[in-house]
A and B are shown apart, each in its own frame.
Chain A
Protein backbone atom coordinates (compact mmCIF):
# COMPACT_ATOMS: atom_id res chain seq x y z
CA UNK A 1 0.00 0.00 0.00
CA UNK A 2 2.85 2.35 0.85
CA UNK A 3 4.56 1.34 -2.36
CA UNK A 4 1.42 2.13 -4.32
CA UNK A 5 1.21 5.49 -2.60
CA UNK A 6 4.74 6.35 -3.64
CA UNK A 7 4.29 5.05 -7.16
CA UNK A 8 1.07 6.91 -7.69
CA UNK A 9 1.32 9.78 -5.26
CA UNK A 10 4.56 11.44 -6.32
CA UNK A 11 3.80 11.60 -10.05
CA UNK A 12 0.25 12.68 -9.28
CA UNK A 13 1.43 15.47 -7.00
CA UNK A 14 3.92 16.54 -9.66
CA UNK A 15 1.18 16.52 -12.28
CA UNK A 16 -1.14 18.67 -10.18
CA UNK A 17 1.67 21.06 -9.33
CA UNK A 18 2.80 21.24 -12.96
CA UNK A 19 -0.74 21.79 -14.16
CA UNK A 20 -1.32 24.80 -11.93
CA UNK A 21 2.12 26.38 -12.27
CA UNK A 22 2.19 25.64 -16.01
CA UNK A 23 -1.20 27.25 -16.53
CA UNK A 24 -0.21 30.30 -14.47
CA UNK A 25 3.08 30.73 -16.34
CA UNK A 26 1.31 30.38 -19.66
CA UNK A 27 -1.36 32.92 -18.74
CA UNK A 28 1.26 35.46 -17.68
CA UNK A 29 3.33 34.86 -20.79
CA UNK A 30 0.36 35.31 -23.09
CA UNK A 31 -0.59 38.55 -21.34
CA UNK A 32 2.94 39.88 -21.86
CA UNK A 33 2.99 38.75 -25.51
CA UNK A 34 -0.33 40.44 -26.24
CA UNK A 35 0.80 43.63 -24.58
CA UNK A 36 3.98 43.75 -26.69
CA UNK A 37 2.16 42.79 -29.87
CA UNK A 38 0.03 45.89 -29.37
CA UNK A 39 3.04 48.04 -28.52
CA UNK A 40 5.07 47.04 -31.59
CA UNK A 41 2.15 46.65 -33.98
CA UNK A 42 3.20 49.65 -36.05
CA UNK A 43 6.58 48.04 -36.85
CA UNK A 44 6.10 46.01 -40.05
CA UNK A 45 7.58 42.51 -40.05
CA UNK A 46 7.03 40.85 -43.40
CA UNK A 47 8.33 37.88 -45.36
CA UNK A 48 8.97 39.89 -48.58
CA UNK A 49 12.47 39.48 -49.87
CA UNK A 50 12.61 43.05 -51.08
CA UNK A 51 11.27 46.22 -49.50
CA UNK A 52 8.02 47.68 -50.80
CA UNK A 53 8.83 50.14 -53.65
CA UNK A 54 7.67 53.22 -51.73
CA UNK A 55 10.24 52.72 -48.92
CA UNK A 56 13.49 54.69 -49.07
CA UNK A 57 16.01 52.54 -47.18
CA UNK A 58 19.03 54.29 -45.66
CA UNK A 59 20.53 51.43 -43.69
CA UNK A 60 19.99 47.72 -43.13
CA UNK A 61 21.29 44.90 -40.93
CA UNK A 62 20.67 41.25 -40.08
CA UNK A 63 18.77 40.91 -36.85
CA UNK A 64 17.72 37.91 -34.74
CA UNK A 65 15.40 37.18 -31.86
CA UNK A 66 15.23 33.83 -30.13
CA UNK A 67 13.69 32.09 -27.16
CA UNK A 68 13.81 28.66 -25.52
CA UNK A 69 10.60 27.63 -23.82
CA UNK A 70 10.45 24.71 -21.44
CA UNK A 71 7.89 21.92 -21.48
CA UNK A 72 6.17 21.33 -18.15
CA UNK A 73 5.60 17.91 -16.60
CA UNK A 74 1.87 18.00 -17.26
CA UNK A 75 2.27 18.83 -20.95
CA UNK A 76 4.90 16.14 -21.35
CA UNK A 77 2.59 13.63 -19.71
CA UNK A 78 -0.26 14.54 -22.08
CA UNK A 79 2.02 14.43 -25.12
CA UNK A 80 3.35 11.02 -24.09
CA UNK A 81 -0.14 9.56 -23.84
CA UNK A 82 -1.27 11.25 -27.05
CA UNK A 83 1.54 9.56 -28.93
CA UNK A 84 -0.20 6.23 -28.30
CA UNK A 85 -3.47 7.23 -29.93
CA UNK A 86 -2.18 9.64 -32.53
CA UNK A 87 -3.75 12.92 -33.52
CA UNK A 88 -3.07 16.50 -32.58
CA UNK A 89 -0.71 16.93 -29.66
CA UNK A 90 -2.70 19.82 -28.29
CA UNK A 91 -0.51 20.26 -25.25
CA UNK A 92 2.42 21.38 -27.39
CA UNK A 93 0.47 23.78 -29.61
CA UNK A 94 0.38 26.61 -27.11
CA UNK A 95 4.06 26.04 -26.43
CA UNK A 96 4.94 26.55 -30.08
CA UNK A 97 2.54 29.45 -30.41
CA UNK A 98 4.11 31.21 -27.43
CA UNK A 99 7.64 30.54 -28.62
CA UNK A 100 6.98 31.90 -32.13
CA UNK A 101 5.24 35.02 -30.98
CA UNK A 102 7.86 35.64 -28.32
CA UNK A 103 10.72 35.28 -30.83
CA UNK A 104 8.98 37.65 -33.23
CA UNK A 105 8.40 40.21 -30.49
CA UNK A 106 12.06 40.04 -29.44
CA UNK A 107 13.02 40.56 -33.07
CA UNK A 108 10.83 43.66 -33.29
CA UNK A 109 11.98 45.00 -29.95
CA UNK A 110 15.64 44.66 -30.92
CA UNK A 111 15.00 46.42 -34.24
CA UNK A 112 13.19 49.31 -32.59
CA UNK A 113 15.80 49.70 -29.86
CA UNK A 114 18.49 50.05 -32.53
CA UNK A 115 16.51 52.64 -34.40
CA UNK A 116 15.21 50.52 -37.28
CA UNK A 117 11.74 50.95 -38.68
CA UNK A 118 10.81 47.64 -40.26
CA UNK A 119 11.99 44.06 -40.79
CA UNK A 120 11.84 42.29 -44.14
CA UNK A 121 12.44 38.70 -45.20
CA UNK A 122 11.48 37.39 -41.76
CA UNK A 123 12.23 33.69 -41.24
CA UNK A 124 11.31 31.45 -38.33
CA UNK A 125 13.18 28.31 -37.37
CA UNK A 126 12.19 25.78 -34.72
CA UNK A 127 14.53 23.43 -33.01
CA UNK A 128 13.97 20.98 -30.21
CA UNK A 129 16.21 20.72 -27.22
CA UNK A 130 16.54 17.06 -26.34
CA UNK A 131 16.38 16.00 -22.75
CA UNK A 132 19.84 14.99 -21.56
CA UNK A 133 18.60 11.98 -19.61
CA UNK A 134 15.89 10.78 -21.94
CA UNK A 135 16.32 11.52 -25.61
CA UNK A 136 12.71 10.61 -26.36
CA UNK A 137 11.22 13.53 -24.53
CA UNK A 138 12.02 17.15 -25.05
CA UNK A 139 13.41 19.61 -22.58
CA UNK A 140 12.32 22.65 -24.50
CA UNK A 141 11.74 24.33 -27.82
CA UNK A 142 13.92 26.94 -29.37
CA UNK A 143 12.49 29.34 -31.89
CA UNK A 144 14.74 31.65 -33.81
CA UNK A 145 13.29 34.58 -35.75
CA UNK A 146 15.58 36.47 -38.08
CA UNK A 147 15.28 39.04 -40.83
CA UNK A 148 16.76 42.18 -42.27
CA UNK A 149 15.99 45.31 -40.31
CA UNK A 150 15.79 48.48 -42.37
CA UNK A 151 16.02 52.19 -41.54
CA UNK A 152 13.79 54.37 -43.67
CA UNK A 153 13.99 58.00 -44.66
CA UNK A 154 10.21 58.14 -44.88
CA UNK A 155 9.34 56.02 -41.82
CA UNK A 156 5.81 54.58 -42.00
Chain B
Protein backbone atom coordinates (compact mmCIF):
# COMPACT_ATOMS: atom_id res chain seq x y z
CA UNK B 1 0.00 0.00 0.00
CA UNK B 2 1.83 3.01 -1.32
CA UNK B 3 0.95 6.71 -1.11
CA UNK B 4 0.67 8.60 -4.38
CA UNK B 5 0.91 12.40 -3.92
CA UNK B 6 -0.89 13.30 -7.17
CA UNK B 7 -3.35 16.19 -7.12
CA UNK B 8 -6.74 15.75 -8.79
CA UNK B 9 -7.61 17.79 -11.84
CA UNK B 10 -8.62 21.35 -11.03
CA UNK B 11 -12.10 22.76 -11.51
CA UNK B 12 -14.20 19.58 -11.55
CA UNK B 13 -16.46 20.92 -8.82
CA UNK B 14 -17.13 24.25 -10.52
CA UNK B 15 -19.36 24.74 -13.56
CA UNK B 16 -17.61 26.29 -16.51
CA UNK B 17 -20.41 28.67 -17.50
CA UNK B 18 -19.22 32.26 -17.43
CA UNK B 19 -20.92 34.18 -14.60
CA UNK B 20 -21.85 37.04 -16.94
CA UNK B 21 -23.57 34.62 -19.30
CA UNK B 22 -25.45 33.17 -16.38
CA UNK B 23 -26.40 36.68 -15.24
CA UNK B 24 -27.64 37.65 -18.69
CA UNK B 25 -29.69 34.48 -19.00
CA UNK B 26 -31.30 34.89 -15.58
CA UNK B 27 -32.02 38.60 -15.90
CA UNK B 28 -33.51 38.04 -19.34
CA UNK B 29 -35.65 35.23 -17.98
CA UNK B 30 -36.98 37.24 -15.08
CA UNK B 31 -37.67 40.25 -17.31
CA UNK B 32 -39.53 38.07 -19.81
CA UNK B 33 -41.67 36.56 -17.07
CA UNK B 34 -42.39 39.98 -15.60
CA UNK B 35 -43.38 41.48 -18.95
CA UNK B 36 -45.67 38.54 -19.67
CA UNK B 37 -47.20 38.92 -16.21
CA UNK B 38 -47.63 42.68 -16.63
CA UNK B 39 -49.38 42.28 -19.97
CA UNK B 40 -51.59 39.52 -18.56
CA UNK B 41 -52.47 41.72 -15.57
CA UNK B 42 -53.25 44.69 -17.81
CA UNK B 43 -55.44 42.67 -20.14
CA UNK B 44 -57.29 41.08 -17.23
CA UNK B 45 -57.89 44.45 -15.58
CA UNK B 46 -58.99 46.03 -18.85
CA UNK B 47 -61.58 43.27 -19.14
CA UNK B 48 -62.84 43.69 -15.60
CA UNK B 49 -62.57 47.44 -14.89
CA UNK B 50 -65.40 48.65 -17.15
CA UNK B 51 -67.80 46.27 -15.42
CA UNK B 52 -67.21 47.45 -11.86
CA UNK B 53 -70.38 49.34 -10.83
CA UNK B 54 -69.67 52.97 -10.05
CA UNK B 55 -71.72 52.83 -6.84
CA UNK B 56 -69.44 50.07 -5.64
CA UNK B 57 -66.36 52.09 -6.59
CA UNK B 58 -67.60 55.15 -4.75
CA UNK B 59 -68.52 53.13 -1.69
CA UNK B 60 -65.19 51.32 -1.64
CA UNK B 61 -63.04 54.38 -2.00
CA UNK B 62 -65.00 57.10 -0.27
CA UNK B 63 -62.70 58.79 2.19
CA UNK B 64 -59.54 57.24 0.77
CA UNK B 65 -58.38 60.27 -1.09
CA UNK B 66 -60.14 63.11 0.68
CA UNK B 67 -58.47 66.45 1.10
CA UNK B 68 -57.36 65.88 4.64
CA UNK B 69 -58.88 69.24 5.55
CA UNK B 70 -60.09 69.60 9.13
CA UNK B 71 -63.73 70.53 9.52
CA UNK B 72 -63.05 73.96 11.02
CA UNK B 73 -60.35 74.86 8.53
CA UNK B 74 -61.32 77.40 5.90
CA UNK B 75 -61.97 75.86 2.51
CA UNK B 76 -59.46 76.98 -0.12
CA UNK B 77 -61.32 79.48 -2.34
CA UNK B 78 -59.50 78.03 -5.35
CA UNK B 79 -61.26 74.78 -4.69
CA UNK B 80 -64.67 76.40 -5.10
CA UNK B 81 -63.83 78.00 -8.43
CA UNK B 82 -62.25 74.77 -9.62
CA UNK B 83 -65.36 72.87 -8.58
CA UNK B 84 -67.50 75.36 -10.51
CA UNK B 85 -65.36 74.92 -13.63
CA UNK B 86 -65.41 71.16 -13.20
CA UNK B 87 -69.20 71.27 -12.91
CA UNK B 88 -69.44 73.14 -16.20
CA UNK B 89 -67.13 70.67 -17.95
CA UNK B 90 -68.91 67.65 -16.50
CA UNK B 91 -72.19 69.18 -17.71
CA UNK B 92 -71.16 68.26 -21.25
CA UNK B 93 -70.92 64.61 -20.19
CA UNK B 94 -74.64 63.95 -19.72
CA UNK B 95 -74.43 60.33 -18.58
CA UNK B 96 -71.82 61.20 -15.94
CA UNK B 97 -72.53 58.97 -12.94
CA UNK B 98 -70.02 60.49 -10.50
CA UNK B 99 -70.36 63.24 -7.92
CA UNK B 100 -66.94 64.76 -8.39
CA UNK B 101 -64.78 66.30 -5.74
CA UNK B 102 -61.75 68.54 -6.08
CA UNK B 103 -58.63 68.23 -4.01
CA UNK B 104 -55.64 70.58 -4.14
CA UNK B 105 -52.34 69.01 -3.25
CA UNK B 106 -49.48 71.09 -1.96
CA UNK B 107 -46.94 69.75 -4.47
CA UNK B 108 -44.72 72.00 -6.62
CA UNK B 109 -44.68 69.69 -9.68
CA UNK B 110 -47.52 70.50 -12.08
CA UNK B 111 -49.78 67.49 -12.25
CA UNK B 112 -53.37 66.32 -11.96
CA UNK B 113 -54.67 62.88 -11.02
CA UNK B 114 -57.97 61.03 -11.29
CA UNK B 115 -58.53 59.03 -8.11
CA UNK B 116 -60.98 56.20 -7.47
CA UNK B 117 -64.26 57.38 -5.99
CA UNK B 118 -64.50 60.50 -8.19
CA UNK B 119 -61.81 62.72 -6.73
CA UNK B 120 -59.72 64.93 -9.03
CA UNK B 121 -56.54 66.08 -7.35
CA UNK B 122 -54.74 69.11 -8.76
CA UNK B 123 -51.33 70.25 -7.56
CA UNK B 124 -50.33 73.76 -6.55
CA UNK B 125 -47.66 73.62 -9.21
CA UNK B 126 -50.27 73.17 -11.89
CA UNK B 127 -52.44 76.04 -10.67
CA UNK B 128 -49.45 78.36 -10.62
CA UNK B 129 -48.47 77.48 -14.18
CA UNK B 130 -51.75 77.72 -16.08
CA UNK B 131 -52.47 81.04 -17.78
CA UNK B 132 -56.09 80.80 -18.80
CA UNK B 133 -59.31 79.14 -17.75
CA UNK B 134 -59.33 77.16 -20.98
CA UNK B 135 -56.09 75.40 -20.11
CA UNK B 136 -57.44 74.40 -16.75
CA UNK B 137 -60.69 73.30 -18.32
CA UNK B 138 -58.77 71.04 -20.63
CA UNK B 139 -56.87 69.46 -17.74
CA UNK B 140 -60.12 68.80 -15.91
CA UNK B 141 -61.67 67.45 -19.11
CA UNK B 142 -58.69 65.15 -19.52
CA UNK B 143 -59.17 63.78 -16.01
CA UNK B 144 -62.91 63.38 -16.70
CA UNK B 145 -61.84 61.31 -19.69
CA UNK B 146 -59.92 59.04 -17.34
CA UNK B 147 -63.05 58.60 -15.26
CA UNK B 148 -65.17 57.84 -18.29
CA UNK B 149 -62.71 55.18 -19.44
CA UNK B 150 -62.31 53.93 -15.86
CA UNK B 151 -58.54 54.41 -16.23
CA UNK B 152 -58.15 55.35 -12.58
CA UNK B 153 -59.33 51.87 -11.65
CA UNK B 154 -57.15 50.25 -14.25
CA UNK B 155 -54.00 51.85 -12.97
CA UNK B 156 -54.75 50.70 -9.45
CA UNK B 157 -55.95 47.27 -10.56
CA UNK B 158 -52.95 46.66 -12.75
CA UNK B 159 -50.57 47.33 -9.92
CA UNK B 160 -52.43 44.95 -7.63
CA UNK B 161 -52.93 42.27 -10.27
CA UNK B 162 -49.28 42.50 -11.27
CA UNK B 163 -48.02 42.02 -7.73
CA UNK B 164 -50.40 39.14 -7.08
CA UNK B 165 -49.57 37.36 -10.33
CA UNK B 166 -45.86 37.87 -9.72
CA UNK B 167 -46.13 36.12 -6.38
CA UNK B 168 -48.25 33.39 -8.00
CA UNK B 169 -45.60 32.58 -10.62
CA UNK B 170 -43.01 32.57 -7.89
CA UNK B 171 -41.04 35.79 -8.32
CA UNK B 172 -41.36 36.72 -4.69
CA UNK B 173 -38.44 35.04 -3.07
CA UNK B 174 -35.48 37.30 -3.41
CA UNK B 175 -35.68 41.04 -3.27
CA UNK B 176 -33.38 41.62 -6.24
CA UNK B 177 -35.65 39.50 -8.42
CA UNK B 178 -38.73 41.39 -7.26
CA UNK B 179 -37.06 44.72 -7.95
CA UNK B 180 -35.98 43.58 -11.39
CA UNK B 181 -39.41 42.19 -12.20
CA UNK B 182 -41.28 45.28 -11.05
CA UNK B 183 -39.05 47.47 -13.21
CA UNK B 184 -39.67 45.29 -16.26
CA UNK B 185 -43.38 45.21 -15.45
CA UNK B 186 -43.62 48.98 -15.17
CA UNK B 187 -41.86 49.31 -18.47
CA UNK B 188 -44.32 46.95 -20.13
CA UNK B 189 -47.33 48.80 -18.68
CA UNK B 190 -46.20 52.15 -20.02
CA UNK B 191 -47.62 51.21 -23.39
CA UNK B 192 -51.06 50.76 -21.87
CA UNK B 193 -50.76 54.02 -19.96
CA UNK B 194 -49.85 55.94 -23.08
CA UNK B 195 -52.90 54.80 -24.98
CA UNK B 196 -55.04 55.86 -22.04
CA UNK B 197 -53.54 59.35 -22.01
CA UNK B 198 -54.31 59.85 -25.68
CA UNK B 199 -57.88 58.64 -25.18
CA UNK B 200 -58.35 60.94 -22.18
CA UNK B 201 -56.99 63.84 -24.27
CA UNK B 202 -59.59 63.10 -26.90
CA UNK B 203 -62.41 63.25 -24.36
CA UNK B 204 -61.02 66.38 -22.75
CA UNK B 205 -60.80 68.05 -26.13
CA UNK B 206 -64.41 67.20 -26.91
CA UNK B 207 -65.58 68.72 -23.62
CA UNK B 208 -63.46 71.81 -24.28
CA UNK B 209 -65.02 72.25 -27.71
CA UNK B 210 -68.49 71.81 -26.26
CA UNK B 211 -67.86 74.41 -23.53
CA UNK B 212 -66.11 77.14 -25.47
CA UNK B 213 -66.85 76.38 -29.12
CA UNK B 214 -63.13 76.07 -29.82
CA UNK B 215 -60.21 74.12 -28.37
CA UNK B 216 -57.75 76.93 -27.84
CA UNK B 217 -55.77 76.41 -24.65
CA UNK B 218 -55.34 72.66 -24.94
CA UNK B 219 -52.04 72.76 -26.74
CA UNK B 220 -50.98 75.99 -25.07
CA UNK B 221 -51.05 74.09 -21.85
CA UNK B 222 -48.31 71.74 -23.03
CA UNK B 223 -46.32 74.55 -24.55
CA UNK B 224 -46.24 76.29 -21.21
CA UNK B 225 -45.14 73.20 -19.42
CA UNK B 226 -42.39 71.69 -21.52
CA UNK B 227 -41.13 69.72 -18.56
CA UNK B 228 -44.40 67.95 -17.87
CA UNK B 229 -43.75 65.01 -20.13
CA UNK B 230 -40.50 64.00 -18.52
CA UNK B 231 -36.99 65.33 -18.86
CA UNK B 232 -35.58 62.64 -21.14
CA UNK B 233 -35.35 62.93 -24.90
CA UNK B 234 -35.59 60.42 -27.67
CA UNK B 235 -37.30 57.11 -28.28
CA UNK B 236 -36.76 55.57 -24.89
CA UNK B 237 -37.96 58.71 -23.15
CA UNK B 238 -41.10 58.71 -25.20
CA UNK B 239 -41.74 55.12 -24.27
CA UNK B 240 -40.78 55.46 -20.67
CA UNK B 241 -42.80 58.49 -19.66
CA UNK B 242 -46.36 57.87 -18.56
CA UNK B 243 -47.54 60.93 -20.36
CA UNK B 244 -46.39 60.87 -23.97
CA UNK B 245 -43.83 63.54 -24.74
CA UNK B 246 -45.40 66.94 -25.06
CA UNK B 247 -44.45 67.42 -28.71
CA UNK B 248 -46.04 64.09 -29.60
CA UNK B 249 -49.08 64.96 -27.61
CA UNK B 250 -49.53 68.37 -29.17
CA UNK B 251 -49.22 66.69 -32.54
CA UNK B 252 -51.92 64.21 -31.57
CA UNK B 253 -54.17 67.01 -30.25
CA UNK B 254 -53.89 68.92 -33.50
CA UNK B 255 -54.71 65.79 -35.43
CA UNK B 256 -57.83 65.20 -33.33
CA UNK B 257 -58.96 68.81 -33.62
CA UNK B 258 -58.48 68.73 -37.38
CA UNK B 259 -60.35 65.47 -37.67
CA UNK B 260 -63.33 66.72 -35.70
CA UNK B 261 -63.32 70.19 -37.20
CA UNK B 262 -62.64 71.99 -33.90
CA UNK B 263 -61.08 75.43 -34.13
CA UNK B 264 -57.61 75.59 -32.59
CA UNK B 265 -57.72 79.35 -32.16
CA UNK B 266 -60.15 81.28 -30.08
CA UNK B 267 -60.53 83.71 -27.25
CA UNK B 268 -59.35 82.38 -23.89
CA UNK B 269 -61.06 83.25 -20.66
CA UNK B 270 -58.94 84.79 -17.91
CA UNK B 271 -58.38 82.92 -14.69
CA UNK B 272 -60.62 83.98 -11.85
CA UNK B 273 -59.65 83.71 -8.19
CA UNK B 274 -57.07 81.03 -8.70
CA UNK B 275 -54.15 82.87 -7.20
CA UNK B 276 -52.70 81.07 -4.16
CA UNK B 277 -54.87 81.33 -1.10
CA UNK B 278 -52.28 83.04 1.06
Contacts and interface: CB of A to CB of B under 8 A. Distances in A.
A121 B15 CA distance: 29
Interface stretch (A38-46, A57-65, A122-130, A142-150): A38-46
A49 interface: no
B27 A90 contact: no
Interface stretch (B98-106, B130-138, B173-181, B261-269): B173-181
Contact of A52 (B1, B30, B171, B230): B1
Interface residues of A, number: 38
Nearest to B29: A85
Interface stretch (B6-14, B88-96, B120-128, B155-163): B6-14
Contact of A84 (B5, B20, B30, B230): B30
A99 B13 CA distance: 12
Given A1-B232, A38-B7, A82-B26, A90 B15 contact: yes
Q: Which among A38, A81, A83 has the highest number of chain B CB atoms within 10 Å?
A: A81
B143 to A, nearest CB: 23
B1 A81 contact: no
Given A1-B232, A7-B179, A84 B173 contact: yes
Contacts of A78: 19, 22-23, 26
A109 interface: no
Contacts of B180: 81
B1 A83 contact: no
Contact of A97 (B13, B170, B183, B231): B13
Q: Which among B7, B14, B33, B231 has the highest number of chain A CB atoms within 10 Å?
A: B14
A65 to B, nearest CB: 18
A88 B23 CA distance: 13
A74 interface: yes
A37 B11 CA distance: 14
B3 A44 contact: yes
Given A42-B5, A90-B17, A94-B14, A80 B173 contact: yes
Contact of B174 (A23, A53, A137): A137
Contact of B13 (A1, A84, A96): A96
Contacts of A97: 13-14
Contact of B15 (A11, A37, A93): A93
Q: Which among B23, B27, B231 has the highest number of chain A CB atoms within 10 Å?
A: B23
A37 B173 contact: no
B231 A81 contact: no
Given A34-B10, A44-B3, A91-B22, A81 B176 contact: yes
Given A90-B15, A91-B22, 12 more contacts: A38-B7, A76-B176, A78-B22, A80-B175, A80-B177, A81-B177, A81-B180, A84-B171, A84-B173, A90-B17, A94-B14, A136-B174
